[in-house]
Amino acid sequence: MEAPKGDAVLGCLIVDGGISGSALAHNLNKSGANIILAEACDYLDGNAKSKHNKEGFIWEDVPNSFVT
């Protein structure tokens, strides 16, 4: 694949604000890629949620899955 010529812009649209999409966006951005990260929710984090109790203990509630 040849590099863009003139005013052409090579970019990447990532549709996933979870850990996978965020990690991909971070790594592509570090390598100099022009990226857009899109997420349907009004926050990034995917299915992971930070929770806390009245004593102030904070933990991450994340899904677990297996790929077979």
What is the reported pTM?
0.59
Q: What is the CA radius of gyration of the chain?
A: 17
Q: Which two tokens stand for residue 58?
A: 């904070």
Q: Is 25 exposed, middle or buried (0-12, 13-18, 19+ CB in 10 A)?
A: buried
Tens digit of each residue's pLDDT, the chain (68 residues) = 455 566 656 688 999 888 888 889 999 989 888 888 988 888 787 777 788 999 999 988 777 665 55
